[in-house]
Structure 1
Amino acid sequence: MFDALVRVGLQWIEVGIPKMGGDQLRLLQEVVEYNIERKLVAWNRGVRDDVNQSLGLGFDAVHIGLPTSDVHLRQSIGKTRTWVLETASDLVVYAKDRGAFVSISAEDVGRTDESLLVDYAGRLSELGADRTRLFDTIGIMTPEKYARKLALVKNSTAIDVQCHCHNDLGLAVANTLVAHRLAQWNRVDS
């Protein structure tokens, strides 16, 4: 599959999760050694040891997954908004200090408080993160709602935004197309 992605010309390939170990780790080590002219991205939980492992394997681009909704913070990992802001800050600085391209999630963006989303994206941008990924983790967003979240981020910060839409309501393609359309402008209407 990896060879097929390279053959079709993809320039960015998120290849896997080193922390999973086993066969996936062996595959990721082979991919890094493949030495292709593509940007290879390793996916990481919001844990410093995960990011350290990816960088140690030779990845120069990392994605860091962190939840931003109160529901996911409290119920999934037992953490607070302060924790996610501090953890994101620490991990961005850690990876950027090692020369990495840093992409970092706002997971469950559909249920993320808008003021937190603006603070989060602003902090990521100030610290030098290269991109934030707006995850519709549970697939509850309509194109209008997704456009609003995207507009909030694009209008309040200079950070690049990437989409990640789930299809629970059958709207992942529509949400992605709305995001693509909005991405054509520097400032967007909400």
Structure 2
Amino acid sequence: PIILSGWCRTVKDDVKKARQIGLKHINISISTSGQMVKGKFEGRVVRDPKENPSKPSIIGMMIEALEEAKKGGMTVGVNAEDSSRTDDEFLIKFAQTAKEHGADRIRYCDTLGYDDPFTIYQRVKNLAKEVQIPIELHCHNDIGLGVACSIAGAKGAIEAGVDAYINTTINGIGERTGNADLVSVILALRKSSGLKDLNLLDERVNLSKAWRIAKYASYAFGVPIPINQVGVGGNAFAHESGIHADGALKDRRNYELYDFEDLGRGEPEIVETGRKITTGEYGGIKGFRDVYEKLEIEFKDEKETYTVLELARYANVHTQKPLTNDELLFIARYPEQAKKILTVAPAI
């Protein structure tokens, strides 16, 4: 199931605010490596209370925020930022302490993309074996190993007898060179030689909307999809070499590991090159009706028509981009949900 989760610093006030807006699940995050504790806190904080009882500690701050969250009935993941540069002894102590104070899972963060698949497999397996708590993998792609490390780390956790969760982003968009790409991770779990028969992925995961979601994220963020992006890039199913083209035409399995139809690709796309009527911030009722007639949407009365028009105007102000057909359809079909999504300040 899809669960809305919040991200908080290990600060009690952050946790309280998350609870006030109705969040049931959060992750609390704090740095655990010697480098970050020294480089970010500059001597004001120690990692372990035993190092200097007179100073705030990483473990102490984590406990305080975690207990505040559990007091409010939340499920909580505890993030060890820069896990991959944190020594095993402290990482295990940090995770064990979190478990003892009610943490539901630990997030192993390869914050700088420092790990490789071999080291993360072994380290996560050891951590999971020692602490016996579900592990969440959060890997960055600084040296191109975000997906590989996510898969390897999850495999290590599962082999140690705990559940594993992989953080992904659409099209791999994220800080610096990004995070593990959603489609790539799913395809790796379903199609790679050593994993495809292990049934590690929930059977309800459906890739048929992958193409549309990837394109929408690219449009919304203003970040083009790389031509060689796994599954959804322009060249993902392109064949030019004579040998490759001949083989693909004879039998797609010669050069295609999975089908483009499975990703929702293959349907022709119509691009309007003549007159184009749009609706948005400055749209009027006639243009609005024209747009929705083309989408085959009819409104039951004038009140509903003007309600949706106002939402479409507001949505355009909100996104500062022309609304897509999917956005327009969503607003028309689910006006109450759209209104909530477009609310800038949550009701507290």
Which TM-score band (shorter chain)? 0.7 to 0.9
Letter in 1 for 2:147: V
Deviation, structure 1 residue 181: 2.0
Distance 1:86 1:186 in 2: 28
- 1:185 aligned residue: 159
- Percent identity for Structure 1 against Structure 2: 30
1:52-63 aligned at under 5 Å gives the runs 52-63=16-27
Alignment partner for residue 97 of structure 2, among 111, 115, 123? 123
Alignment partner for residue 75 of structure 1, among 29, 39, 50? 39
Letter in 2 for 1:88: M
Distance 1:172 1:96 in 2: 31
Distance 1:102 1:179 in 2: 20
Deviation, structure 1 residue 187: 4.6
1:66 equivalent to 2:30? Answer yes
Give CA-to-partner distance per residue, 1:63-114, whole Å, 9 cap, x none: 1111100111111123211211111111111111110000110111111011
Q: Which has the higher strand share?
A: 1
Letter in 2 for 1:178: A
Letter in 1 for 2:74: A
- Relative contact order (C-alpha < 8 Å, sep 6+): which is higher? 1
Distance 2:110 2:29 in 1: 13
Q: Following superposition, which runs of at least 4 residues in structure 1 exceed 6 angstroms of deviation?
A: none
Structure 2 regions of 5+ residues with no counterpart? 49-56, 163-348
Using the size of structure 2 for normalisation, the TM-score is 0.42
Distance 1:114 1:142 in 2: 16
Distance 1:110 1:186 in 2: 18
Distance 2:140 2:103 in 1: 24
- 1:109 aligned residue: 83
Counterpart secondary structure, 1:89: helix
- 1:46 aligned residue: 10
Kindly indicate whether the alpha-carbon contact (under 8 Å) linking 1:40 and 1:61 is maintained by their aligned counterparts in 2. Answer: yes
Letter in 1 for 2:134: D
1:8-47 aligned at under 5 Å gives the runs 11-12=1-2, 39-47=3-11
Letter in 2 for 1:58: G
| Structure with larger Rg | 2
Structure 1 regions of 5+ residues with no counterpart? 1-10, 13-38
Give the stretch that moved more between structures: 157-166 or 72-81: 72-81
CA-based RMSD of the aligned residues comes to 1.4
- 2:60 aligned residue: 86
Distance 1:183 1:141 in 2: 15
Distance 2:16 2:46 in 1: 24
Kindly indicate whether the alpha-carbon contact (under 8 Å) linking 2:82 and 2:110 is maintained by their aligned counterparts in 1. Answer: yes
Aligned residues: 152
1:172 equivalent to 2:146? Answer yes
Letter in 2 for 1:62: I
Counterpart secondary structure, 1:129: coil
- 1:98 aligned residue: 72
Letter in 2 for 1:93: E
Distance 1:67 1:169 in 2: 21
Deviation, structure 1 residue 147: 1.4
Kindly indicate whether the alpha-carbon contact (under 8 Å) linking 1:106 and 1:132 is maintained by their aligned counterparts in 2. Answer: yes
Distance 1:49 1:117 in 2: 25
Distance 2:60 2:154 in 1: 30
Kindly indicate whether the alpha-carbon contact (under 8 Å) linking 1:109 and 1:149 is maintained by their aligned counterparts in 2. Answer: no
Kindly indicate whether the alpha-carbon contact (under 8 Å) linking 1:43 and 1:62 is maintained by their aligned counterparts in 2. Answer: yes
Letter in 1 for 2:30: L
Counterpart secondary structure, 1:81: coil
Letter in 2 for 1:60: K
Counterpart secondary structure, 2:31: coil
